[in-house]
Chains A and B, each alone.
Chain A
Amino acid sequence: MATPPAATATNSAPTPPKPPYKAPPFSQPPSTAGAGKTETPAASTSTAAAAVVAAVAATGAAAEEPSYIITVPSYSAWFSYDSVSDTERRLMPEFFQGEAAAASGSRGPEAYKYYRDTLVKRFRVRPERRLTLTEARRGLIGDIGSVRRVFDFLEEWGLINYGVSLPGVKQGRDKREEPVAPQSSLPAGVSAPKKLCIGCRTVCGQAYFTCEKADITICCRCYVRANYRPGLTPADFKKVETSEDAKSDWTDKETLHLLEAVMQYGEDWKKISEHVGSRSEKDCIARLLRLPFGEQFMGPKEDKMQFETDDDITDESRAEISKRVRLTPLADASNPIMAQVAFLSAIVGSDVATAAAQAAISAQSQVDETNDSPADSSIGSPKEEVSSAESCYTNGFSANDLLKEASANARVQLEKERKDIEQSLSDIVDVQMKEIQAKICRFEQKELLMEKERQQLHYLQKLLFADQLAVVQHQCRPHAVTAENEADENPKPVLTS
């Protein structure tokens, strides 16, 4: 279950009833399109962008399509395991300011880093699964309040539970109005009534489950997550497939008509649907795609799929197409969107995937040029599709330039990295030398001290000797000479006597 159509509530999660964060002027991820970007989570609802940007590692995508997928704010280019960025310092002051934080214990920067790193690592181990606070805090040593705040912060900024569908029931309750509106505006070309899931209020995809007892329809996801009334058991539900063909079977005749029409009219879907008869344009396209050889026909047309709205397949192609290939070293394979892309491109075949990618790049550059909100792509009329498809192709060559530029950039950065490394190596060596020098100094000082002490001891010895001499002289004058000699040899016996 790749794209989460049930992610309706994610839009609301990043817009909590907290005061919106002051928009920090943090560096935006370089390759993301200008349109459709949001800086703060609170502003996410305002984007109506339809351009979807590929997410690599920590970068997020801003995407909204007319129907289900919800805007996720762009964010988090600043995240790195090695350090705490300014964004975090600003937004989580309890760990970084105040006398409690200075104690650097359970309240300090190290604690924040420990919580954050553990939470992110834990999520990334199973990125398709939602990490709950309870599960997370059970593995974290610290007080609940702080853990919860870090967890919420990370979730809001998409470093945790990004792209994972949320449990529909409780959280979606007051947000039902939002997804209902876009779904009611499904384009008129829908051939059969779509099944709406009671649990998460999204359109059920391939299959859904019905329950006779309560006359409820839920989608697969809700079924698996047991997102239905407590009184029902999994056994009460029956699975129903909803493939396009099942809705109304394509007879051979219709398929034949379709093929004829395609051969005859090429890309004019209106005429094709007329020729076929009682099939809408979308149905025809979908059916053609489903045919084993449909890809041959659909190669050049796939970029038009981004303007389709309700078909599952078209969803996938759109998601695939509109993602931009980012040339960064941070290719995190656990990222859900990249995994999707990999999966889809594996399915579809390399030729189609490259064609799609090319078209996507050219479309993206087009968007960049016009700097318009990519609401263009939501226009669905066939004629515009055709013309834009053509213009997409002529722009395809700019892809090469982009790639060259990108590789040059990469090389420059490599150089910089090398220089940095050398610099830091020499710094380290310097520091070591200084350490050794300091040690040598200290040892010299100690030697001096020892010398002094030794001299003092000698001096004392001599004094002692002189004293003894005096005593002996005093005691036995006649024996002074011999006593002296004795004293010379062994002072001790003289003393004890």
Chain B
Amino acid sequence: KFRMPTRDNLVPIRVDVEVDGQRYRDAFTWNPRDPDSEIISFAKRTAKDLKLPASFVPQMLQSIQGQLAEFRSYEGQEMQIKEKIMPLKIDLRVNNTLVRDQFLWDIGNLDSDPEEFARTLCDDLNITDPEVGPAIAVSIREQLYEIASQSVSAMREAKVSKKRRAPEFASNSKAMNNAVDMFKYFGSKGSVIRKRKEWYLYAPVVDVVPNEEVVVVDTTE
């Protein structure tokens, strides 16, 4: 039952290949149902578009195929799907734009859509650089993927060890630490409205960085 807990079962892929001093870094979403021949043609096309030497292609291919294979290895397995609200974080820099944000996401909602979230965020914050959106979507997907795979391994542990209850609680507590206890909020004393002093934690921050700083950061990376 494993799948990405989003409406579309898409895999986040990150590629970081270095050949002869040239570095190619990229992140995008891939549909695991696309045939493998697509991967090859995509790698070739990307190398051609970016004018990279052909030596990049096999490494790119390997990286992408590896990540897809890992995703597929999870696919047959059981996953726990229940409503669980986790905070997700965005902290990335794309060209000249810095985005930092934190928000709560229900990982049990199989209809959630990181792409739509990214689109709305960029529109609302008037982010002009079109490359920021995909980066945000990929970042969210990566975090969700991480959580989903943790849930799969937790289930596996629970099955392996005969004592069902204790390990479940123990391993879940790792994730539970992050999960927000909704009772606190919706109980009789709580209110749904976030406390004012917590607003700054959850407000998105967008900075536009001047070019010199970008150069500096790039070289340090």
Contacts and interface: CB of A to CB of B under 8 A. Distances in A.
Interface of A: 100, 103, 105-107, 114, 118, 132-135, 137-146, 148, 167, 170-171, 226, 230
Contacts of B134: 137-142
Given A137-B28, A141-B118, A148-B42, A167 B48 contact: yes
Given A106-B7, A143-B30, A144-B31, 10 more contacts: A105-B7, A105-B115, A105-B116, A135-B49, A140-B130, A141-B134, A143-B31, A144-B30, A145-B34, A146-B31
Contacts of A114: 119
10 contacts: A103-B7, A105-B7, A106-B7, A118-B130, A133-B46, A134-B49, A141-B136, A143-B28, A144-B29, A145-B31
B38 interface: yes
B8 A105 contact: yes
A144 B38 CA distance: 10
A143 B113 contact: no
A170 B52 CA distance: 12
A230 to B, nearest CB: 7
A167 B50 CA distance: 12
B155 interface: no
Given A141-B118, A141-B137, A170-B48, A106 B42 contact: no
The residue among A139, A142, A230 with the most chain B CB atoms within 10 A of its own CB is A142
A230 B22 CA distance: 14
A139 B28 contact: no
B5 interface: no
Interface of B: 7-8, 10, 28-31, 34, 38, 42, 45-46, 48-51, 53, 113, 115-116, 118-119, 130-131, 133-134, 136-137
Contacts of A140: 130, 133-134
Q: In the A-B complex, list the 4 residue pairs whose CB atoms are closest, starting with the nearest.
A: A139-B130, A132-B49, A134-B49, A141-B133
Contacts of A134: 45-46, 49-50
A351 B99 CA distance: 58
A106 B9 CA distance: 10
A125 to B, nearest CB: 11
Contacts of B46: 133-134
Nearest to B94: A138
Nearest to B46: A134
A107 B29 CA distance: 13
A143 B131 CA distance: 14
B115 A133 contact: no
